[in-house]
Amino acid sequence: MRTGVIVAAHPGVEDLAVRAEEMGLHSFWVYDTPMVHGDPFVALSLCAKATSRIRLGIGVTSPALRSAPAAASGLASLNALAPGRIICGVGTGNTARRTLGMRPTTAARLENFIAALQDLCAGRSTEYREGDRVRDIRFLHTGGHVNTADPIEFIVAALLGPKAAAVAGRRGTGLISVGLLDPTAWHALHDARRHAAQATPHAPDSHPDSRADSYVVTSLHLLDEDEDPHGDPARDATGHLVMSLLAFAADTPAFAGQLGPEEGEAVRRLLDRRGTTSTAPDRHTKLYPNYLERIAPRDRDLVLPSLMNTLALVGTRDDLLTRITALEQAGIDELLIQPVIDPPAEMAQLAKLLT
């Protein structure tokens, strides 16, 4: 299985991309969460200039954040800096919208956005709509400005489950998900993607440069001999993913209602600790600071073993290899980790584990 890393966009991130390339990792990604992290296009521009081989990804942008012309211009510009090395994940804007106190967009709008990006980034014209006004648009000058000759890989965030997989199938793209380590769930997603592709006339021919790889984002903690799998080091290494799920649940009562009693109690404690409620209009300002960063020691009690085991890879070398093999057999092409404690060391651990 291929390996990669995803981190928050920030100054100096290009140094980490260089380290990842030197370690032989396949890809290096940054998040697109405007009010939480830095700008992904700025960050990946620096990474593109500092590296020569590693693929560079945005995970993920959204039509709820950027217009198709603006996003395509950024992507094609990156493609001029790193020809053929750019990956663009596209989703409904779940986290990026919720950090604004807004809701994600729809699957239909997502699909239209991807179609426009695929057209524009391949040098074709596409239909662009604002209200009742519709126009055909295309890049009016390429040359050294943007690169539409080398393919850009597009993937769909799988938050919407079968709906997202169907979009990926119709558009000939791959899938990406955070913390989805259940092989059965991935089999279902791949089935939905395949069925949608088969039901779409000429879908493979419509997107000849597209790949259809699957990526999963998680955290990895290799246990030392006799180490507690739920001790502080393991909680610190995986806590950011657990806290991201709890924040989503705290912001989405319908989802919180589907959790078990222990997880539901953790959501209630989180809301109390942040001094907000699941219906407060400003809850996004209380729930999302420090999002996907190293957790505070006082929040370790919220990192429940059940959620650690669901969202992250924690165990001995044999344990981890068994779980990774099951994911590979379920069709996962690349394992992405998000390191927060010591990124170079965690990246080296990943590279060593799968070498």
Residue 96 is assigned to a structural domain of this protein: yes
85 and 153 assigned to the same domain: yes
pLDDT-derived band at 211 (thresholds 50, 70, 90) equals low
305 and 278 assigned to the same domain: yes
Write the CB contacts of 237 (distance below 8 Å, at least 6 apart in sequence).
219, 220, 221, 312, 314, 340, 341, 346
The CA–CA distances, whole Å, from 243 to 102, 213, 302 equal 19, 27, 8
CATH number of the domain at 210, please: 3.20.20.30
CB contact at 8 A, 337 and 349: no
pLDDT of residue 207: 44
> Is pTM beyond 0.85 here?
yes
108 and 245 assigned to the same domain: no
304 and 336 assigned to the same domain: no
Residue 227 is assigned to a structural domain of this protein: no
212 and 292 assigned to the same domain: no
Helix 343-353 and helix 317-329, axial crossing angle in degrees, nearest 10:
70
254: exposed, middle or buried (Cβ count in 10 Å: 0-12, 13-18, 19+): exposed
pLDDT-derived band at 206 (thresholds 50, 70, 90) equals very low
User: Which uninterrupted H or E stretch holds 155?
Assistant: strand 153-157
pLDDT-derived band at 203 (thresholds 50, 70, 90) equals low
Residue 113 is assigned to a structural domain of this protein: yes
Residue 74 is assigned to a structural domain of this protein: yes
Cα separation, 335 vs 325, whole angstroms: 11
pLDDT of residue 144: 81
How would DSSP label each residue in 232-273? HHHHHHHHHHHHHHHHHHHH-HHHHTTS-HHHHHHHHHHHHH
CB contact at 8 A, 335 and 324: yes
Number of domains in the chain: 2
266 and 322 assigned to the same domain: no
Look up the domain containing 269 and give its range. 232-310
* Euclidean distance between the first and the last CA atom of the chain, given in angstroms as a whole number: 10
pLDDT-derived band at 210 (thresholds 50, 70, 90) equals low
Average pLDDT of the chain is 94
Looking at residues 283-295, what average pLDDT do you find? 95
Looking at residues 171-178, what average pLDDT do you find? 96
Write down the H helix ranges in 33-122.
40-50, 68-81, 94-98, 107-121
198 and 244 assigned to the same domain: no
186 and 275 assigned to the same domain: no
